[in-house]
Structures are given as structure tokens and as C-alpha cells.
């Protein structure tokens, strides 16, 4: 199993990277890696991480009563979003937010969006019944940084615990 370059994040000046202010105390590990493998599929392949331990963070816009509201949805890499389930859970049609808009809203970088360090007012949606691992890999906000976070800490980041919002990914 290949390992990330180190488990203590550093910035470009080789200073230890600080956890965001709203980071849970029980982040298990701050992982730095080659930015070229920051997307979920490349990261899992390079570092032999299972899809069941990898979380994709997807920014959606939900239209309800003529208004749009953004949400960050935590999706296990073993699953895809179910539009009908999202509509039932959030009361409106969910659409993927364009990448540039999602990055501007979250103030994060591509392939590194995650639930830690989000601006106030951006709700986090997840399905705790699909989260059964001891820890998970999530985006760290900056390209080349990911966090391994304990199961209980991840659950505390979920604002809306919705059911039936995923479909199992087919090979």
C-alpha cells in the first residue's frame, strides 16, 4: 500500500498547515499528497483507500418555492446522488452547482471541497445510515490536502440527516 507523502500538512513555505477554526478535535490525520491525485478516484487508486472510506462532497442548489438554496452533500464514493431522494429530503429539485460557483461559495479548491471550513449558512446533508466505517477521507479545502476524520466527528458535521438520497454505484 502506497502512503501519502506525509501525514502532517505543510504549506508552500514548509510551515505546518493549521486545521481550520471549525475543525473537529478528532481529525485523525491531516494528509498531504501530490495535487495530481487529489480527486477521489486517483487518490483511492494511488493510496489503496477503499471507496467505502472515501467521501465525495458535492455542492447542489435546491429550488423550492421559486428560491434556490445551496447545500453540501456528503456522498460515499460507493454511491451516487438520487435526485428523487434529494427532492423528498430537501423539499425541492436539486441540481449540481456549476464548479466555479461551488468553489466560490465554499472558498475551497477543486478536488478538495469538504465539510470542514465551510462558510456559515451552507448546510451539510448526509445519510448517517450509510456511514458505517471507523473513519473517512474527506477533502481538506486546499488542493493536495485531505483529512482522515473519525466516524463520530463526521456525523457531527451533518446538519440534515436524510435517508434514501443515494443510489449504489454500479461497476
**Tens-digit pLDDT profile for residues 64-92:** 889 999 999 999 999 999 999 999 999 99
Question: What is the pTM (predicted TM-score) of this model?
Answer: 0.85
In a domain, 15, yes or no: no
The pLDDT, as a whole number, for residue 54 is: 97
For residue 152, pLDDT beyond 70:
yes
**Tens-digit pLDDT profile for residues 92-110:** 999 999 999 999 999 999 9
CA dihedral 126, 129, 133, 137 (to 10 degrees): -10
CA distances from 158 to 87, 110, 114, 134, 142 (A): 18, 21, 12, 16, 21
Domain boundaries, position 95: 27-168
Task: Look at the chain and report how many structural domains it folds into.
Answer: 1
In a domain, 8, yes or no: no
Amino acid at each position: 500500500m502506497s502512503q501519502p507523502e506525509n501525514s502532517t500538512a505543510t504549506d508552500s513555505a514548509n510551515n505546518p498547515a493549521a486545521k481550520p477554526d471549525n475543525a473537529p478535535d478528532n481529525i485523525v490525520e491531516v494528509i498531504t499528497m501530490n495535487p495530481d491525485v487529489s480527486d477521489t478516484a486517483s487518490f483511492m487508486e494511488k493510496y489503496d483507500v477503499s471507496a467505502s472510506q472515501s467521501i465525495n462532497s458535492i455542492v447542489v442548489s435546491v429550488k423550492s418555492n421559486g428560491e434556490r438554496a445551496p447545500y453540501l452533500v456528503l456522498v460515499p464514493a460507493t454511491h451516487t446522488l438520487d435526485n428523487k431522494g434529494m427532492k423528498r429530503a430537501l423539499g425541492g429539485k436539486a441540481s449540481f452547482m456549476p464548479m466555479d460557483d461551488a468553489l466560490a461559495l465554499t472558498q475551497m479548491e477543486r478536488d478538495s471541497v469538504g465539510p470542514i471550513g465551510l462558510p456559515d449558512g451552507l448546510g451539510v446533508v448526509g445519510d448517517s445510515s450509510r456511514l458505517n466505517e471507523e473513519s473517512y477521507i474527506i477533502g481538506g479545502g486546499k488542493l493536495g490536502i485531505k483529512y482522515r476524520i473519525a466516524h463520530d466527528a463526521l456525523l457531527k458535521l451533518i446538519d440534515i440527516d436524510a435517508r434514501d438520497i443515494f443510489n449504489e454505484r454500479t461497476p
